[in-house]
Amino acid sequence: MASKNTFDIVSLGNASIPSPIHLSKTAGEKIFSFVEDSDRMLMDVSLADFNSCIRNNTQPNCLEKAGPREALFFDPKSTTAAIVTCGGLCPGINNVIRSLFMALHYFYKVERIIGIRYGYEGLIPGNGHDFLEFTPDIVKDIHEFGGTLLGSSRGAQSVPEMVDALEKNKIDILFTIGGDGTLKGANAIGEEIEKRGLKIAVAGIPKTIDNDIDLLDKSFGFETAFDVASPIIRNAHNEATGAFNGISIVKLMGRDSGFIAASTAIAMPVVNFVLIPEIHFALDGPNGFLEALKKRINLKHHAVIVVAEGAGQNLFETGTEEVHDASGNIKHQDIGLFLKHRIKQYFDTIETKTTIKYIDPSYIIRSAPANANDSLFCNRLAHHAVHGAMAGKTKFVIGRLNNRFVYIPISKVVNQRKKIDMEGEFWFAVLQSTGQPFSMK
């Protein structure tokens, strides 16, 4: 049988140290069993892909199942692990930090676990950020709070200097908690480590509130985001119905993907329009957004609009130079304020009085503590990341695909951003919930 790419994970070498975790090796003992590297999960679970593999006599793409291994690469007694958090804030970061520490300290008896302060900046000695020496007392309550105990930063740092710092401080495992830019940085660190022939593992826990990490079912913090946003939408609806021809515009996160805006609209079904980066819409014309909004106002005399921050960028004047943030992301124009201005202008032109409220709760949502479901998810991601790293796996991310926790090469998830399928059932559910037109072009 011909073999397709199986997304194999790089290993630092032979794992020969017995795990201190006492698990089963025999079925039927009613004790969880060690996971074998040969345990694989299918990427595509559709019948169509199965039939295609049968026809072409090929092995389907599959991923390593996450979980504790019987043999370790690192000796826990002499292992130093480091944790770094990068990029913007997101609910659940402290949960991941705490769970990483707890797994390393209590499961594997790793004696030295340090925190890198203020993102990758903390690995550059010239920035003057001291390491944090973790203890159980330091992490015991941090899951109750939003933000990150370690601090964070954006922007690229010198990869050779960062690897120098890892080598000088005798760090054996680096856990990176961050989004697309952080994971690209982690992969570059892993490549430099490999080039130098060092035995240092790099493991990624993908963090993006926008839920736009490719291949994965979801990223942590995402569910908390639309959970926190839902009562804000309810209050925006109250504002809209509190005035004749009241219009509430709520801008939510979503630089390239509209998952938060779309999920919030379904969770709180008082939203009448959802505008996301995946769709181009026109403001003017018989099929444009403003005409659709006018019909809604004439019918119900109020409207709630949820817009993702990256939506409608095609509506701004072209020709201006792109501005990027420290992470290399394009800084978008403020679509919320733009819509407020254009909606008022339009209704003034047709002599229709409106009351428009614009709400941007982004930073409140980003800094919220994780809800119960995200807390559970963060805990499991962290534990599985520790199991993989202690076994000597490197340049991988831990994630959930098809409801199974798996290890995926970092290089496979940073090629593109995950986006809403405009022909998929999820977006159709949004259209059914809002009643907005299928197209506003």
112 is annotated as contributing to ligand binding: no
Rounded Cα gap, residues 123 and 51, in angstroms: 49
- Model confidence at 34, in pLDDT bands (50, 70, 90)? very high
- Contact present, 213 and 179 (Cβ < 8 Å): yes
Which CATH code is given to the segment(s) 223-315+323-367+422-434?
Answer: 3.40.50.460
| pLDDT tens digits, one per residue of 212-271 | 999 999 999 999 999 999 999 999 999 999 999 999 999 999 999 999 999 999 999 999
Question: SS3 for 400?
Answer: strand
CA angle at 83 for the pair 77 and 89, rounded to the nearest 5°: 160
Q: Is residue 199 very low, low, confident or very high in pLDDT (cuts 50, 70, 90)?
A: very high
| pLDDT band per the 50, 70, 90 thresholds, residue 317 | confident
DSSP category for residue 332 = -
Please report which residue ranges of 301-407 form alpha helices under DSSP H.
Answer: 335-349, 362-366, 372-390
Q: Is 210 a catalytic residue?
A: yes
Closest CA to 206 of 194, 196, 228, 221: 221
Q: Tell me the one-letter amino acid at 264.
A: T
255 marked ligand binding residue? yes
Q: Which of 210, 212, 256, 374 is catalytic?
A: 210
Residue 154 in marked binding region: yes
Number of neighbouring beta carbons within 10 Å of residue 92: 33
Tokens of 434: 């809002």
d(CA 148, CA 118): 9
In this structure, is the dihedral angle defined by the CA atoms of residues 198, 203, 208 and 209, taken in order, positive or negative?
negative
In this prediction, residues 158-183 reach a mean pLDDT of 97
Q: In this predicted structure, what is the pLDDT of residue 327?
A: 57
For CATH 3.40.50.460, list the domain ranges present in the chain: 223-315+323-367+422-434
- pLDDT higher than threshold 60 for residue 40: yes
Nearest to 340 by CA among 391, 303, 386: 303
Cβ(77)–Cβ(112) below 8 Å: no
Question: Is 17 annotated as contributing to ligand binding?
Answer: no
Rg of the chain over Cα atoms, rounded to whole angstroms, equals: 24
Q: Which of 14-28, 169-183, 280-294 has the lowest mean pLDDT?
A: 14-28
* Mean pLDDT for the stretch of residues 314-341: 76
Confidence of residue 322 (pLDDT cuts 50, 70, 90): low
Name the region of 128 (left: φ>0; alpha: ψ -120 to 50; beta: rest): left
pLDDT attached to residue 319 = 58
Residue 371, Ramachandran bin (φ over 0: left; ψ between -120 and 50: alpha; else beta) = beta
Predicted confidence at residue 332, as pLDDT, reads 78
The span from the CA of 19 to the CA of 356, in Å, is: 61
Q: Is 6 annotated as a binding residue?
A: no
* Length reported for the chain: 441
pLDDT in tens, 351-382: 999 999 999 999 999 999 999 999 999 999 99
pLDDT at site 29 = 83
Token pair 């003057």 is found at: 128
Across 337-359, average pLDDT: 97
Spatial separation of the C-alpha atoms in residues 222 and 262, rounded to whole Å: 12
| Rounded Cα distance, 357 and 305, in Å | 10
Residue 4 is predicted with a pLDDT of 52
Please give the mean pLDDT across all residues of the chain.
Answer: 94
- Considering the chain, tell me which residue range(s) the CATH 3.40.50.450 domain(s) occupy: 65-219+370-413
Task: Please check if 135 is assigned to a binding site.
Answer: no
Q: According to the annotation, is 364 in a ligand binding site?
A: yes
**Integer Cα distance of 231 and 395 in angstroms:** 39
CA distance 288 to 279: 13
- Residue 180 marked as a ligand binder: yes
The model's confidence at residue 326, banded by pLDDT at 50, 70 and 90, is low
pLDDT interval class at 324 (50, 70, 90): low
The CATH number that domain 65-219+370-413 falls under is 3.40.50.450
Q: Known binder of ligand: residue 249?
A: no
d(CA 419, CA 26): 42
- Annotated binding residue at 328? no
- pLDDT of 329 > 80? The answer is no
Q: Place 330 in a pLDDT band, splitting at 50, 70 and 90.
A: low
Distance CA 37, CA 66 (A): 9
The amino acid occupying position 421 is D
What is the tens place of the pLDDT at every residue in 52-78? 999 999 989 999 999 999 999 999 999
Structure tokens at 186: 């982690």
Q: Is 182 annotated as a binding residue?
A: yes
Mean pLDDT along residues 94-122 = 97
Using the predicted structure, report yes or no on whether residue 328 has a pLDDT greater than 70.
no
> Does 209 carry a binding-site annotation?
yes
Amino acid identity of residue 77, one-letter, is: K
Tokens in use for 224?
Answer: 């908390």
Q: What beta strand segments (E) does 191-236 contain?
A: 201-206
Q: pLDDT digit string (tens) for 209-218?
A: 999 999 999 9
